[in-house]
Amino acid sequence: MTIEEAIKSSIPLKPHTRTTLNIMYSSRLVEEKIAELLKPYKVSMQQYNVLRILRGQKGIPANLSTIQERMINKMSNTTRLVDKLIEKKLADRTICESNRRKVEIIITPKGLELLLEIDPLMAKCNEDILKLFSLQELNTLNNLLDKLK
Amino acid sequence: MTIEEAIKSSIPLKPHTRTTLNIMYSSRLVEEKIAELLKPYKVSMQQYNVLRILRGQKGIPANLSTIQERMINKMSNTTRLVDKLIEKKLADRTICESNRRKVEIIITPKGLELLLEIDPLMAKCNEDILKLFSLQELNTLNNLLDKLK
DNA sequence: TAACAATATTTGTTATGACAATTGAAGAAG
DNA sequence: CTTCTTCAATTGTCATAACAAATATTGTTA
């Protein structure tokens, strides 16, 4: 299906407009699928994203600015996002002793367990979304998208 | 720049995961640029999107469900989105006489003027975002993204 | 034609997001 | 050593999003 069909555009789009719309539209499709997968686990996509960043730290505590720069959605109030994870006992926060302006955030065993449970489903979800793509096509797509950055 | 570099991922990503992350990340980049462009005009991306849909109707009133199915972000409360446009006198809403459950939404002259003002800037913005791409690359990217739908 | 189902939109509620202002701590300069 | 600046995170406020429930109108059928 073309993007024009998807958004039922009567007029043909210019190539550049077509592409930016297509990127945004495709992203929505991906997000929808992922949000649906995460829903039963009561974590939002952003919360899940932060949990993965924390796991990626391999035990080293992360501070807020580290988390922010690694997020897919750079957002302003990461504090409250982390608050939610702490409420759910998926993460923990302490004040950094060497620099009391910073905080140290770590993932809890419960958080790690949750990620382990979701991991295979998320892998399958990503494969499902892209099931029509050959590895070579994935490569091409990735390389093209990388040109945006 | 690769997506791994962008999100500072220490571990290499699986091809499918890499691609879905890349699509979402790229979409954020595009959205950021567009939001920035629209900011001085005090309309959100979604509001702008709806205005363009209304213009595309070429005078024929649109009802809410039509707007919804044509939006990039299918969303639940289009009512309140349209409310905002009406507050700003960019759109008008009347009840459909032949089926009083429906509403008829049209863009006002002020709304059309606003779009005309934004049009060239938006075209330039899209071109800027994709300035490193040849027409052929845009085509390839579009065709690949179309496979998602 | 009264009762029920379907359609189209609206409203209420709660959670997130954007953005600015504020707080508290650390570092620098006189 | 006290003032100023910078840094890191938090908080307040308002706008938007998600989701469910409610309302109003029309269509259907027994």
| Distant-in-sequence, close-in-space partners of A130: CB < 8 Å, separation ≥ 6 | A138, B16, B19, B20, B148
Residue A146 is inside which H or E element, if any? helix A135-146
List the A77 CA – D1 C1' distance (angstroms).
36
Whole-number pLDDT of residue A74: 86
Return the pLDDT at A72.
92
Neighbours of B37 (CB within 10 A): 18
pLDDT-above-70 percentage for chain B: 100
Q: Which domains does chain B have, with CATH numbers?
A: 1-41 (no CATH), 42-142 (1.10.10.10)
Residue of chain B minimizing CA distance to A21 = B72
Instruction: Calculate the angstrom distance between C1' of C22 and CA of A79.
Output: 15
pLDDT in tens, A48-80: 999 999 999 999 999 999 999 999 988 889 999
Closest chain A residue to B10, measured at CA: A56
Instruction: Please tell me the predicted confidence (pLDDT) of residue A41.
Output: 94
User: Would you tell me the crossing angle of helices A135-146 and B15-38 to the nearest 10 degrees?
Assistant: 30
Question: For B142, which of A19, A74, A122 is closest by C-beta distance?
Answer: A19
Could you tell me what percent of chain A has a pLDDT over 90?
91
Rounded to an integer, the average pLDDT of A86-97 is 95
Alpha-carbon gap, residue A142 to A73, rounded angstroms: 18
In one letter, which amino acid is B24?
Answer: M
pLDDT digits (tens, 9 = 90+) for B71-103: 999 888 999 999 999 999 999 999 999 999 999
Q: What pLDDT is recorded for position A76?
A: 82
Secondary structure E strands in chain B: 91-95, 103-107
Best to test chain B binding among A21, A27, A73 (most B CBs inside 10 Å): A27
What pLDDT digit, counting tens, does each position of A110-121 carry?
999 999 999 999
Q: In chain A, what residues touch B133 (CB-CB under 8 Å)?
A: 19, 144, 147
B34-70 confidence digits (pLDDT tens): 999 999 999 999 999 999 999 999 999 999 999 999 9
> Which of A4, A5, A23 is the best substitution to test chain B (most B C-beta atoms within 10 A)?
A23
